[in-house]
Structure 1
Amino acid sequence: MNQGDRPLLIDVTRLIGRARKKRMPTGVDRVCLAYIAFFHHRAQALMQHGAIAVALSPTASSALFAWLLAWRDGQPHPALGTTMAWLARLPLRAVPMGSWVLNMGHSGLDRRGYGAWMARKRIRLLVMAHDLIPLTHPQFCRPGEDGRHAARVRVILRHAAGVVSNSQHTARVLRHYAQQWGVTLPPISVIPLGANHFHHAPLPAIHDPLPASYFLMVGTIEPRKNHQFALDLWREWKSRRTDVPLLVVIGQVGWMCGDIQEQFRADATLKDSVRVLHHCGNDCLRAYLQGARALLFPSHEEGYGLPLVEALAVGIPVIASPLPVFREIAGDVPDYIETSDASAWLAALSDYSRPDSSMRQGQLERLRHFSPPTWEQHFEQFTEFMNRL
């Protein structure tokens, strides 16, 4: 990669904050970690604290990157606190003039003065456009998130040297807001995100035995993911028959999900039919993914859909809402059903639960022709894009 004499820095502010809180990596975190894994031998770490942005030395950056990559499985490294204390004692450096800065987690982009800091330092900012859901679907986000995200997007449009979009769908929405605000869109490259290589390792043992038959949902528990729809389906299904397969829900507790959490905890109808795992690392996820009858993805909106790609990559069928981005990244492979048609979803679930399911077999046949995107392909395209800037 030709970056000239410019230093390359990766903003790790988001990852540090989440790792120290012992959170599991989200989809955005996993993208950030993929960039660290690819660039860690040639990049330095950048951290923001308030209005200050500082760089770590190559040695300190290498140590920090190693600990963050150890957190990739969702279990904070036991020495992370010690490492942070050690890093805090090191002399921090000013961010060099003219640096490339990769800010793939949007850290600080909504902070006043971020654009002025970049101009003063002649920063070449490269960002990832994950989605614009807080602007297009604010009803599914925390109060005030639309304003904060609008501020981030305005900084991206006005100051970024280049933008990587995870999908054509996200790029189209970004172009719409650039036109609406009268801002020229920076150079943009649509590069799909890679799937984890779950199929390259033997199936791991997990603490709880896998059920004989189950469906799977993966993602942060929040209204946009539509867990309520799945729970309503399971209640209706249980009212019709007694041998309903298990629904396994893998995801951290997000926002605006108190009602869902209460149903998980106290609804007797769901007690024997739903298993919830809030802390599930890569091995746990891979084990559940590879044994599922199907991954269920009834989301209201998505910017991409890593779980969908990763399920298809290991040969597990997907039943999903017909979102444009799902069709973009998976074509006609999944079975798409409108969430307004609960009867059609129940019919599909009933079919998929049978050992001789015709719908499942049909998707498995379509899956034979599916080629999932890889991180190797992603970074090959990213490198070519960066070299053109």
Structure 2
Amino acid sequence: RRASVPFGAGDVYVSMGLDWDQKDLVYLYVQKRTVGFKALLFCYDVIPVKLPHLCVGDVAASFARYFANVAWCADEVLCISECSRRDLSALLTELGTPQPPLSVIRLGCQLPGVSDGPVASDVAEVLGQRFVLFVSTIERRKNHETLYRAYTRLLDQAETKLPLLVFVGMPGWGVNDLLADLRFDPRTQGLIRVLNHVTDADLARLYQHALFTVFPSLYEGWGLPVAESLAAGKFCLASNAASIPEVGGDLIEYLDPWDVPAWAERLRWYFTHPEALADKEARIRQQYQPMPWPQCAHDILVHATDRLSAPAPGSDLHDQR
């Protein structure tokens, strides 16, 4: 008996994330073969398989099984960068699964405009000072540690009048020692600020008023805060790892995420050369083309409707029997 599913032949099932621990892709595979609909699935990154030591818990095996199921189930997989597409293709080759078409879409990056609404008190306090902005969940992979060490290096070299270093994000995995250092290190007291539960409107204000942004992540599937920074017209000093250079192109500067002396040196240089920052911001405003989120949604629907026109019911792209 045919299962009761809300899809018919010619429909396209679209899932944009959280499949790996919340959806039964084996069941989906059976139903799409039975009913004749198509499946458009997503790959943000394969970091839990590629770099499991940078992720919480032992999830590498679960992620590998998930992507094996994706390979059998998907009629197309949308990846959020060329880096993620290459990583997924390499993983599927290693797993010995079929390879569905792997396409790349560009994520949206535009925040709502700054409104006249109220500003949170902790955000307002930051906005009244010179500051550098790092937007990210505070977890080990994002590499806040390099910025903390770069700041302590500058302080130990008797640098004065350093701007605030502002971390915007919720605490995550693997940073208990770092957060303790930030609380107790007398050198950075009052210089490194952590903001949680920041609204979109306040985040837009922070981007607007920052001297520039930083993004020293060890590995990314894309690097949305870099795109948001550029959309706000702000220069970013970023890691050269993984997909991040795809985001910033030649509009920003890249450093080895582990090279603390280089981060300290380039931070100091930009702190003391506001004219260079102004030139870079002017170039960003002239050349960067932000991706609106509605356009991103449209691109996804184009893949679902134009690229996945369903064949006759019962056929299957990856029928290997």
The answer to whether TM tops 0.5 is yes
Does residue 308 (structure 1) correspond to residue 226 (structure 2)? The answer is yes
Q: Deviations over 1:321-376 (max 9, x none)?
A: 1124122122111111223433332222122223x524423422431211122223
Is 1:135 the equivalent of 2:53?
no
Deviation track 1:64-84 (CA, whole Å, cap 9, x = no partner) reads: xxxxxxxxxxxxxxxxxxxxx
Give the deviation of 1:282 after TM superposition: 0.7
Show CA shifts across 1:203-240 (max 9, x none).
86332321421111111111110011111111111222
Residue identity in the other structure for 2:146: F
Secondary structure (helix, strand or coil) at the match of 2:187 reads coil
Are 2:75 and 1:155 equivalent residues in the alignment?
no
Deviation at 1:191, TM superposition (A): 0.6
Aligned AA for 1:262?
A
Structure 1 position 283, deviation (Å): 1.6
The alpha-carbon deviation at position 281 of structure 1 amounts to 1.5
CA distance in 1 between partners of 2:113 and 2:270 (Å): 22
Distance in 1 separating the partners of 2:232 and 2:115:
11
- Residue 377 of structure 1 deviates from its aligned partner by 2.6
Partner in structure 2 of residue 118 of structure 1: 28
> Retained in 2: the 8 A contact 1:204–1:283?
no
Whether 1:218 aligns to 2:135 is: yes
For the residues of structure 2 that align with 1:178 and 1:150, how far apart are their CA atoms?
A: 9
Give the equivalent residue in structure 1 for 2:14.
102
Q: Structure 1 248/124 Cα, relative in aligned 2: closer, same or farther at 3 Å?
A: same
CA-based RMSD of the aligned residues comes to 2.3
Structure 2 alignment gaps of length 5 or more: 309-321
**Which of structure 1's runs of 4+ aligned residues deviate more than 6 A?**
none
CA contact (8 A) 2:226 2:247 kept: no
Q: Distance in 1 between matches of 2:279 and 2:254?
A: 13
Q: 1:227 aligns with which of 144, 149, 172?
A: 144
Q: 2: distance between equivalents of 1:276 and 1:158?
A: 43
Is 1:329 aligned to residue 243 of structure 2? no
Change (3 A) 1:197 1:384: same
1:200/1:207 Cα in 2 relative to 1: closer, same or farther (>3 Å)? closer
Higher mean alpha-carbon deviation, 203-212 vs 154-163, is at 203-212
Partner secondary structure for residue 320 of structure 1: strand
Contact between 1:130 and 1:165, CA under 8 Å: does it hold in 2? yes
1:85-96 matches, within 5 Å, as 95-96=5-6
Aligned residues between the structures: 294
Q: Are 1:191 and 2:191 matched, yes or no?
A: no
Contact 2:220 2:242 in 1 (8 A): no
1:378 is the counterpart of 2:288: no
What percent identity do the matched residue pairs reach? Answer: 29
| Aligned 1:320-359 pairs, distance under 5 A | 320-354=238-272, 356-359=273-276
1:263 aligns with 2:263: no
Task: Find the partner of 2:287 among 369, 373, 389.
Answer: 369
TM-score after normalising by structure 1? 0.70
Q: Which secondary structure state, in structure 1, belongs to the residue aligned with residue 243 of structure 2?
A: helix
Indicate how the Cα distance of structure 1 residues 200 and 190 shifts in structure 2: closer, same or farther if over 3 A, else same: farther
In structure 2, the residue matched to 1:22 is: none
Shift of 1:115: 3.3
Change (3 A) 1:359 1:335: farther
C-alpha separation between the residues in 1 aligned to 2:118 and 2:214? 23
The alignment partner of 2:17 has SS state of coil
**Secondary structure at 2:121 match in 1:** coil
Distance in 1 (CA, whole Å) between partners of 2:263 and 2:98 is: 43
Alpha-carbon spacing, 1:165–1:202, altered in 2? closer, same or farther (3 Å): farther
Q: CA deviation at 1:287?
A: 1.4
Deviates more, 1:168-177 or 1:97-106: 97-106
- In structure 2, C-alpha distance between the alignment counterparts of 1:267 and 1:125, rounded to whole Å: 51
Amino acid at match of 2:5: V
Give the Cα–Cα distance (whole angstroms) in 2 for the partners of residues 287 and 94 of structure 1. Answer: 48
Q: Write the letter of the residue equivalent to 2:138.
A: I
CA–CA separation in structure 1 for the residues paired with 2:304 and 2:12: 10
Residues 33-52 of structure 1: pairs in structure 2 closer than 5 A: none
For 1:257, the aligned partner's letter is: V
Task: Tell me whether 1:237 sits opposite 2:154 in the alignment.
Answer: yes
Q: Is the 8 A contact 1:348 1:359 kept in 2?
A: no
Deviations 1:229-276 (A, max 9, x none): 111111111222232111010111111111112122222222211110
| 1:281 match | 199
Distance 1:248 1:278 in 2: 11
